[in-house]
Structure 1
Amino acid sequence: MNKEHPIKTADWDDQADDSFKALSKAEMDALRKAKPKSFALINGWRIVASQVVLTLIIASFCYFFSESPERVVYTYSALVGGLIGVLPSALFLVRLEAAKKNVKSSPGGYLAAVVSGEFLKILATILLFIGFALKQPDLKWIPLLVTYLATLKCYLLVWFWK
C-alpha cells in the first residue's frame, strides 16, 4: 500500500442518508390513490398477445413485400421466428401461473419458480432454434431473426405502454 495516497474507506454508519424513507401503510395507500397507474401490474399474457400481433404484422410485411417465388418462404420464416419468441414466453408464464396457484408457496418457492421458468424458457428457445435449423434448412434467417428479436422487444413496449 502506498503511504502517499492512502485508501479512504467510507463508513456507512456515519453517513446520514435520508434519500430512502420507509412509508407507513397509510402513506403507501395515499400514494397508490394519487398515482394508481404507477402501481398497476403488467399482465404477462398481454406481452404474449403483443408478441403474436407483432409476429403477424411482420409476416404480413414479408408476404406483401417479398418477391413472388420466395414469398411463402419469407413469410414462413417470419412466423417461425415469432413462434420461437412466443412459445418460450408462454411456457414461462404457465410456470409462473402454476406457482401462483400453489397455496403453500413461499417467496423462496416463487423465486425458484421464476428461476426454473427462465431456465425452461432458455432451453426451449435453444431447442426450437436447433430443431428448426435441422428440420427446415430452407428457412430464411433474416426474417426469422428479425421477427424473433422483435418479439423480445415486446417486453419493453408493454412496459412503456403501461
Structure 2
Amino acid sequence: MVLNKVRPIKAVEWNDQDEDSFKALSKTEMDALRKVKPKSFTSINGWRVVASQVVLTLIIASFSYFFSESAERVVYTYSALVGGLIGFLPSALFLVRLEAAKKNVKSSPGGYLAAVVSGEFLKILATILLFIGFALKQPDLKWIPLLVTYLATLKCYLLAWFWR
C-alpha cells in the first residue's frame, strides 16, 4: 500500500483579496450616495403593507359580493373577509411585537433578533389558530374565496417591494 504525501493547501487570507472587491465608505461618501440614489436606502413601512392587505381584502370581498349568486352572496363575502382577516391580523401582531422591541431602551441587536423570531412565531401560531378556529366555529364558510383572499394578502409583501 502506497501512501501519497498530502501537501497542505495554502488558505486564502483576508488580506489577499483584490482591493477593488470592496471599499469602506466614509460618512460624507455615504451621504453623497444617499443623495444620488435615495430609493436604494428607503425601507418598507410595515403598516403600509398591513393597510394594503386590508384594502385588498375589502376589494376581493366586494368582488365576491357582486359576482356571486344572490342566495349565497353573504357567505361568499363573509368568507373573503375571514380570509383577509387571517392574512392581515397576524401581520399586525408581528408589527406590534417589533414596535415594542424598538421602544425597549435596553435593546441590543440580539434582543431585536429575539423579537423578530418571537414575533414570527406569534404570527405563525395566530395564523394556525385562526384557521382552526374559523373552520370549527363557522362550518358554512366557502373555502375558495377564503383561501384566495388569504393568498392575495400574502402577496402584498411582494407588491410592497415593487412599489418601493
Give the structure-2-normalised TM-score.
0.89
CA 114–10 in structure 1, closer or farther in 2 if over 3 Å, else same: farther
**In the alignment, what sits opposite 1:31?**
33
Deviations 1:6-62 (Å, cap 9, x if unpaired)?
xxx894435537333222222111101111122112111000000000000000000
**Identity, % of aligned pairs?**
89
Instruction: Say whether residues 1:121 and 2:135 are aligned partners.
Output: no
Point out the structure with max Rg over C-alpha: 2
Letter in 2 for 1:133: A
Deviations 1:45-98 (Å, cap 9, x if unpaired)?
000000000000000000000111111111000000000001000000000000
Distance 2:11 2:115 in 1: 38
Instruction: Say whether residues 1:104 and 2:106 are aligned partners.
Output: yes
Deviations 1:92-111 (Å, cap 9, x if unpaired)?
00000000000110011000
Q: What aligned pairs does 1:133-144 form with structure 2 within 5 A after superposition?
A: 133-144=135-146
Instruction: Say whether residues 1:76 and 2:74 are aligned partners.
Output: no
**In the alignment, what sits opposite 2:4?**
none
List structure 1 runs of 4+ shifted beyond 6 angstroms.
none
Residue 68 of structure 1 aligns to a residue whose secondary structure is: coil
Q: Which moved more, 1:89-98 or 1:30-39?
A: 30-39
Number of equivalenced pairs: 154
CA 33–138 in structure 1, closer or farther in 2 if over 3 Å, else same: same
CA 30–10 in structure 1, closer or farther in 2 if over 3 Å, else same: farther
Distance 1:37 1:10 in 2: 43
Letter in 1 for 2:39: K
Q: Which runs of 5+ in 2 are unaligned?
A: 1-8
Q: Which runs of 5+ in 1 are unaligned?
A: 1-8
**In the alignment, what sits opposite 1:51?**
53
